[in-house]
Structure 1
């Protein structure tokens, strides 16, 4: 196979001319240690990070190996740990100096740089400031207010960082209160995975475990930026490359993580500067073009089967799949010209991929939000499942489908009951355990919660971490509505944009971070989380708490629940706060098959596996088999790109994690210092008669065009018709109506936009 990696970077555009990892990563970690004000004691936390009986990273959800590296943390994980353990404190004295009106003008980075929140606070409308309160006052006032609100008008949001123990109690609190309005950060990223995979193979999560990466001979990546979003994943990919595994990448952006990698754990690579080539073929698919690309691969596979036979796994197809024939007929009928136009990839390249796939015995399909965040994202995932099923790459060693999750416990939260869909939760069992009747109606997704805030049907919003108001689509329209809520409760560690959108009923409740010692009545506590590969890990905090006024997330949830709910002897909030092992016993009782002997297994090296029926070729679908699906069209977009309508993809930089901006160095893309840029291909810049650095207005092509954002033009290596801008700032351009049809996940990777230019070419200033 031809190596098409770094040498094909467009030389007219910025790029990082070094491998991922290497000395660049080391310097970035050292820089964060120097500027994060966490002290040298943070090194002890990092030393134990992601190791058995250590501290599980609060950054990404990538797996923790049973035999960890000497340093089992990555650049982003180190940043998250230093960020958590800063000695800079944001107490009442700090917040008293700034009005909420002033804080709303600050950037994301500026707000979080104020440091760790230390005291419970309430917003005082008379002074436009947060003022100090007590935990007793906060719980009593919040509980009293929630008692007077229809539970169906309340939303309990959860960020993906909260532990399994906290998440279980959070969901229990919501249902005992009377609603299933439990959106979490999965609603904004991988809910498409949960819905699409559950429907098609009977599992809402990936089918792979770490051991599979030691046996695969082909890895196919779709829309997943490993280098920035899950850098520890680079180690098993590098090991696979060294034993001869092929890697093929589909991504509109040439991300360095899947081009070159030098392991900081490898002295030879660090001393010599030699890096591992991470991909054999890197194909810059157009946004939303993955359905077309996979259709082209499948079309050629069917042609090869017709010509020579032995390409498809007919035994597997006959025994384990349903509706294969309609998909075969659809794929063979597709026209190459349309496949090439929609995918942006030449027929020869797609045929080459098919030929490699046809001779690969064990294949893993890996994907990220490049597949999930589209109007037809669920169908994109369905197409990847189709491709894997064609050769039986499900339910055997070294093969399967691997969605890579973001937040450290976002998958685990769904596992233990944070779900708006009642059919996903054993409600009859919960009713038996706790002697109340849980609500059976479907709750709100993120999209529906935002709609409720906008139209006033949502009266109370209680947030377990996160930065919901900044992460959602349509920020410009939603921002003013937050102040109209009767109750807005934010459990947090640092100040963020969501905390500045205040009203009379706004409360700020600061909590411990995972790396701090969590001491309760029975002694120091441990918590658990689930990684992307469905393994459960225990985590022990080692750092002293930032302030004695802080409470754990479990203690805060229990305090709110006691103040809100009527007495129930089965709801033992004080006991559970005093001993988290009792909460794990509850989880094991509710989910006995997956969490039996929970307390005994929680520190198993590499985590304990909660299992997946697909690995045994058991398909929990309506047909009892794996489902082939036939898409209606070749594009995952909800619009048709043209000379006037571009497709915007939103990006996260190398110096951020979700909405947390650590700094302004997007090193792995060769960009630095400015997030107010729009990345455009040199060919499109020339066609539009633009110039580098020129100010333009990016305008949403949906509705009346009042979603607008001024940005500066930066040439970048992207497909024609595609532009890119940074998340979360560019969320103002994403309409609430643009979401995956099946899961309602926002379509952050496929936003139709126009580019408006000021007619005064001398100034180059954008309209508006």
Structure 2
């Protein structure tokens, strides 16, 4: 049951196209291993189908708008198959294994045991999880919450997998209890994007949709490994290349998706092994150098405008922006030498990028965590917006900012109220519609929650999905903080590390998966999700639940709420009978959700209105605001490297399917570090040599990983990379951005040397 014997690690540089037959073979092997040769293919035919199928529980890339019947990807199929497994973690399993024993298992081994089947309670005396009824489990949660001296002694975490209806009920419960302690996974990924876009444009989201991607002349893809993190984007990139659009990938590592692909649902391309280019230019900045790179492009465009009046859209700037003159002065005052040093990219390559941008009538800039998980993440996203504003790339077809959300419905969670810093207007409307008195003071985010648990100020932690213990930074600190809680509650589909790292009392509450039928008193229910581009659509499960004892996420929230708020006037039971009733309330409480039940049943659902797309800017100036932040110094000190954590290809967030990373040529290895070959030679390190890695935090404290294997890779000098969650230990809890409060997981300061 424990970890399998270790196989010999291998590294062979990857030279093949992304997706295509490699993805098909990988999926087939995975279906065979999981013994899902019937339900697996059935799920493939139902996934991402408008209003009749279920939404992929993987990434948040939008569904195809033209009726594509195989709008799927390798990682999405793996994710769904992993959820549909026939393996079960039942009371017999927990009776056979103590928690102390399970703590020695690998994370893969824990999740590989299968689906949870019934509520379980941790028994300290026996060190086992033991069965508990739903009624008693809810009573236990309710009692713990009611007995708190202050509602702010509880924190309610949300992962991106939670549907909109459950999300709305969850935040309603927390706020009716009296707290805004609503941390979520956005605190660790795109918080910088939301704050930057809010400051620049008055909206916390991107402004483009998939049709814009189909019409743009130039795509700039920043800080994202498309083949693994948003694989369905490959279709958009291939189509863009076919029609002659320019595609510039900006990333310290040249990933497989930044070169070529074979789109799996294109039968002729698959049959003929026909590859399509997915880039016209690849640029490799140093880790953290993206802001300087954008500043360089803007400087080049401004310099060109001296002789070319069409280089800038001066009419757009004059009519719709604020702060342009100051920004122009900052660009002119920034020396090219400083831009080259901080970006790690030569002036010639920056000018190439600027020419692509200048020659395109319509441009989109898209980015992910490689841009946001830095101290200066907010400034960098604002610099992206600055560049777009120079040529009026906003409010028209084929142009605008396009953040890539990495997890299905993480954007919907924020839209539907999961926000530790809620806007007063949202709270006013919630109070009026739901007849509650929500708290007004800001609550705790992810970092604040961990710190408060460590101090003993947060006594009850409830996690709706995800694997908080592994996703958070500073792993030992996070473990200790969770252990300080009086009660931890995890709402989950499968066994994971967060069930093993728990408070003095602990509950595991098993829920339905996205693929499963949700049958309530009012009939078969659907839930809604929001994708990366603000489209809201329905998701309907297709499969019989893994156990008759599972409850839906909305039902679990309502059960906890009724137990914690016995005198509440909120109709919790009525909401669960028919989710249309939840949506009717959401239609009144949430801006953009008017006539929710009708619109969400339209083909492809509906798009939440984006004022900035219509050139309406809810900013203090009433215009799109240029930012004039100085360039940060991101050049590593002598002898140190900037290390970024990332996922392998055979991984989704903290879920690890195997120890392989096909697109980077790795087999049977996760405890590794990718390094520049010259940096390795300088340190006397050869391929597969064991090395020791030491990080130094802002407060001077150090963290260590020993015996990792060094792999030479095409990455700029002074940079290194490795896998999360194993490397989360290197990111100290104090190393969070002062701009976004995000952990700085993409810019950890480390030294690396031969293992002692």
Contact 1:38 1:83 in 2 (8 A): no
Q: In structure 1, how many angstroms separate the alpha carbons of the residues matched to 2:718 and 2:554?
A: 48
Structure 1 outlier segments of 4+, above 4 Å: none
- CA drift of 1:425 comes to 5.9
- CA drift of 1:424 comes to 6.2
- CA drift of 1:189 comes to 0.3
Q: In structure 1, how many angstroms separate the alpha carbons of the residues matched to 2:55 and 2:266?
A: 23
Q: Which runs of 5+ in 1 are unaligned?
A: 1-11, 758-765
Contact 2:11 2:666 in 1 (8 A): no
Find the counterpart in structure 1 of residue 4 from structure 2: none
- CA drift of 1:606 comes to 2.4
Q: Aligned to 1:709, which of 705, 712, 737?
A: 705
Deviations 1:366-418 (A, max 9, x none): 00011110000000001100000000001111000000001100000111111
Find the counterpart in structure 2 of residue 68 from structure 1: 67
Which is further off, 517-526 or 424-433? Answer: 424-433
- CA drift of 1:14 comes to 4.4
Q: Aligned to 2:686, which of 687, 691, 712?
A: 691
Find the counterpart in structure 1 of residue 738 from structure 2: 741
Find the counterpart in structure 2 of residue 588 from structure 1: 587
Contact 2:57 2:80 in 1 (8 A): yes
Find the counterpart in structure 2 of residue 8 from structure 1: none
**SS of residue matched to 1:665:** coil
**SS of residue matched to 2:228:** helix
Find the counterpart in structure 2 of residue 649 from structure 1: 644
Find the counterpart in structure 2 of residue 672 from structure 1: 667
- CA drift of 1:65 comes to 2.0
Which is further off, 150-159 or 477-486? Answer: 477-486
Q: In structure 2, how many angstroms separate the alpha carbons of the residues matched to 1:123 and 1:37?
A: 31
Q: In structure 2, how many angstroms separate the alpha carbons of the residues matched to 1:543 and 1:714?
A: 43
Find the counterpart in structure 1 of residue 749 from structure 2: 752
Q: In structure 1, how many angstroms separate the alpha carbons of the residues matched to 2:428 and 2:244?
A: 50
Find the counterpart in structure 1 of residue 578 from structure 2: 579
Within the alignment, does 1:528 sit opposite 2:525 as a pair?
no
Within the alignment, does 1:608 sit opposite 2:606 as a pair?
yes
Find the counterpart in structure 2 of residue 94 from structure 1: 93
Which is further off, 39-48 or 215-224? Answer: 39-48
**SS of residue matched to 1:643:** coil
Task: Assess, with a 3 A threshold, how the Cα gap between structure 1 residues 103 and 424 changes in structure 2: closer, same or farther.
Answer: farther
Contact 1:64 1:607 in 2 (8 A): no
**SS of residue matched to 1:707:** strand
Root-mean-square deviation (CA, aligned residues, Å) is: 1.4
- CA drift of 1:166 comes to 0.2
Find the counterpart in structure 2 of residue 331 from structure 1: 331
Contact 1:643 1:721 in 2 (8 A): no
- CA drift of 1:268 comes to 2.5
**SS of residue matched to 1:433:** helix
**SS of residue matched to 2:705:** strand
- CA drift of 1:70 comes to 2.7
- CA drift of 1:258 comes to 1.9
Deviations 1:564-619 (A, max 9, x none): 013133x111111110010010110112x411221112232223111101111111
Q: In structure 1, how many angstroms separate the alpha carbons of the residues matched to 2:173 and 2:451?
A: 23
Find the counterpart in structure 2 of residue 423 from structure 1: 423
- CA drift of 1:705 comes to 4.2
Contact 1:183 1:444 in 2 (8 A): yes
Task: Assess, with a 3 A threshold, how the Cα gap between structure 1 residues 424 and 57 changes in structure 2: closer, same or farther.
Answer: farther
Q: How does 1:108-507 map to 2 (within 5 A)?
A: 108-149=107-148, 150-423=150-423, 426-507=426-507
Contact 1:227 1:256 in 2 (8 A): yes
Find the counterpart in structure 1 of residue 3 from structure 2: none
Contact 1:123 1:503 in 2 (8 A): no
- CA drift of 1:13 comes to 8.2
**SS of residue matched to 1:654:** coil
Q: In structure 2, how many angstroms separate the alpha carbons of the residues matched to 1:459 and 1:541?
A: 35
Find the counterpart in structure 2 of residue 7 from structure 1: none
- CA drift of 1:95 comes to 1.6
**SS of residue matched to 1:68:** coil
Contact 1:642 1:721 in 2 (8 A): no
**SS of residue matched to 2:702:** coil
Q: How does 1:37-48 map to 2 (within 5 A)?
A: 37-48=35-46
Find the counterpart in structure 1 of residue 7 from structure 2: none
Deviations 1:678-737 (A, max 9, x none): 111111111111111111111112244431112111111110010111011100000112
Q: In structure 2, how many angstroms separate the alpha carbons of the residues matched to 1:713 and 1:213?
A: 38
Q: In structure 2, how many angstroms separate the alpha carbons of the residues matched to 1:28 and 1:416?
A: 36
Q: In structure 1, how many angstroms separate the alpha carbons of the residues matched to 2:137 and 2:196?
A: 41
Task: Assess, with a 3 A threshold, how the Cα gap between structure 1 residues 133 and 522 changes in structure 2: closer, same or farther.
Answer: same
Within the alignment, does 1:726 sit opposite 2:712 as a pair?
no
- CA drift of 1:742 comes to 2.0
Q: In structure 2, how many angstroms separate the alpha carbons of the residues matched to 1:168 and 1:106?
A: 36
**SS of residue matched to 1:490:** strand
Q: In structure 1, how many angstroms separate the alpha carbons of the residues matched to 2:199 and 2:11?
A: 42
Contact 1:468 1:498 in 2 (8 A): yes
Q: Which runs of 5+ in 2 are unaligned?
A: 1-9
Find the counterpart in structure 2 of residue 626 from structure 1: 624
Which is further off, 391-400 or 95-104? Answer: 95-104
Q: In structure 2, how many angstroms separate the alpha carbons of the residues matched to 1:740 and 1:478?
A: 18
Q: In structure 2, how many angstroms separate the alpha carbons of the residues matched to 1:33 and 1:68?
A: 26
Task: Assess, with a 3 A threshold, how the Cα gap between structure 1 residues 743 and 696 changes in structure 2: closer, same or farther.
Answer: same
Contact 1:262 1:275 in 2 (8 A): yes
Deviations 1:408-442 (A, max 9, x none): 00000111111111216621222222322111110
TM-score (norm 2): 0.97
Contact 1:196 1:742 in 2 (8 A): no
- CA drift of 1:319 comes to 0.7
Contact 1:13 1:717 in 2 (8 A): no
